[in-house]
Amino acid sequence: MDDDWDSLLENKRVLIELTDKCNLHCRMCCNRKSPHGIGQGFMDIKLFDRILAEINLNKQWSLELFWLGESMLHPEFDKILEIALQKLENTNSHVNLHTNGSILDEKKQRLILKFGERFPFMTVSIDAVHPETHKEIRGGDLETINQNLKEFLFLRKQMNAANPRLNLQFIIMKENAEETKAFADYWEAFYAQNGINSSDNIFFKRLEVHDIEKQKEANKLYDETIEKFNLFSTTTSPLGIISKEKSQPPAYWFEEKSEQRQVCAAPFKNPVIRWDGEVTVCCFDDIFFYTMGNLKNSSLRDIWYGEKMDAFRRKHIERRYDELLTKDGWAKCKACIGYYFPKISEPEIEHYCKAKGLN
């Protein structure tokens, strides 16, 4: 995949869903029996290979190997990582993964550690320090997950490897808000007691809810919890915190008015590919309101740099959200809470407009 206009864009991410199947049942996740409204499945390894062959890996792409399921459940997960490792060699692109950590066995740990700087971060979604809370929220066995995580940390230490750095993720919601501090204390103590040197982070994440009023409640709980337990962002070693800056106003991004808000970067920087090859504009479009085509019939290049995508981008630049209606007449982009990440800068938009002859 190659084109002039996006060569200067930073933080480009192609999301490749290896599967939408999952072994957990997290209450806040849109992974249901049929997360995309079609049957569930696994990406064909040949399709994965083809996608990587189409992406210009010299243009700093992050290959996000997950979406709505648990990627490690893919029967050929190890082989897929081997393919990625081989293709990323001598490029400046890298892999990124979010996992629930429940099946992160030693074989997978060793494979992941082989990537070095080609696998800079891995996020492990935990959300609890007490097993009962984890069971309630995620339906899993916290002790197994913590054990896998600790084994990974010991192996990384033993191999003297710096990557991947871990984000120990905790989504703040009403069921677990009171144990945020205990979570941070638990992992800080573990790192200190075991001499784990790292630049890892505890990541306190905002709960995303696809309902404006509920989102406001989630934002309020997030801001209040961070403040109550003084869990603002820090860069302390060996375990920092990613949350919000002390000076940051509450729910800063959500309160912006849609007419004034920044242009959404996703249609410029973030192609999203479902396990069966269907392509859409962003990871918030889980039921494919804005589908752009399928890799069974087209190349990724033809879809991502094609006219349909350009028309969609143009409407975003001109903030004509009312024209971006879904099939049932809903202006999803207008009401979307997801436009805040990743970002696209003014010079990047200007660069795109110039390449496309737009004023």
Name the residue nearer to ligand SAM (CB basis): 62 or 100.
100
Distance CA 54, CA 45 (A): 14
The one of ligand SAM, ligand SF4, none whose footprint includes residue 304, by CB under 5 to 8 A per kind, is none
Site residues for ligand SF4, window 337-356 (CB under 6 A)?
338-339
- Contact between 202 and ligand SF4 per CB under 6 A: no
Taking alpha carbons only, the member of 304, 298, 299, 306 closest to residue 269 is 304
Q: Contact at 8 Å (CB) between 62 and 93?
A: yes
| 19: DSSP letter | B
Which residues pair with residue 204 across a beta bridge? 170
Closer CB to ligand SAM, 1 or 65, in the complex = 65
Per CB under 6 A, the list member of 9, 19, 31, 225 interacting with ligand SF4 is: 31
Among the listed residues 1, 29, 112, 264, the single contact to ligand SAM using CB under 6 A: 29
Q: What residue 285 binds from ligand SAM, ligand SF4, none (CB within 5 to 8 A, per partner kind)? A: ligand SF4
Using CB under 6 A as the binding rule, the residues of this chain from 303 to 342 that contact ligand SAM are none
Q: Return the residue of 169, 176, 270, 280 that touches ligand SAM, per CB under 6 A.
A: 169
Q: Does 286 bind ligand SF4 (CB under 6 A)?
A: no
Strand order in the sheet with 239-242: 239-242, 200-206, 165-172, 121-125, 94-99, 61-64, 12-16, 272-273, 278-280, 293-294
Q: Is 286 in the site for ligand SAM (CB under 6 A)?
A: no
Choose the stretch contacting ligand SF4; rule: CB under 6 A; options: 10-18, 40-48, 240-248, 335-343: 335-343
Using DSSP, state whether 166 is helix, strand or coil.
strand
Q: Which amino acid is at 101?
A: G
Angle separating helix axes 307-317 and 346-356, nearest 10 degrees: 130
Structure tokens at 173: 């919601």
Among 151, 150, 152, 127, which Cα is nearest to 25's? 127
- Closest alpha carbon to 128 in 265, 28, 48: 28
Rounded Cα distance between 30 and 97, Å, is 18
Q: Which does 266 bind (CB under 5 to 8 A by kind): ligand SAM, ligand SF4, none?
A: ligand SF4
Shortest reach from residue 98's CB to ligand SAM, in Å: 4
Residue 40's closest CA among 271, 210, 272, 274? 274
336 binds ligand SF4 (CB under 6 A): yes
Site string for ligand SF4, 117-156 (x = CB under 6 A): --------x------------x------------------
Q: How far apart are CA 295 and CA 307, in angstroms?
A: 16
* Site for ligand SF4 contains 17 (CB under 6 A): no
Q: Does 309 engage in binding with ligand SF4 (CB under 6 A)?
A: no
Asked if 1 is part of the footprint of ligand SAM (rule: CB under 6 A), the reply reads: no
Q: Which is nearer to ligand SF4, 93 or 125 (CB)?
A: 125
Dihedral sign, CA of 279, 284, 286, 290?
A: negative
**Residue number with CB closer to ligand SF4 (100 or 163):** 100
- Positions in the binding site for ligand SAM (CB under 6 A): 22, 28-29, 31, 66, 68, 70, 98-100, 123, 125, 169, 171, 205, 207-208
- Positions in the binding site for ligand SF4 (CB under 6 A): 22, 24-26, 29, 31, 68-70, 100, 125, 138, 264, 266-267, 281-282, 284-285, 332-333, 336, 338-339
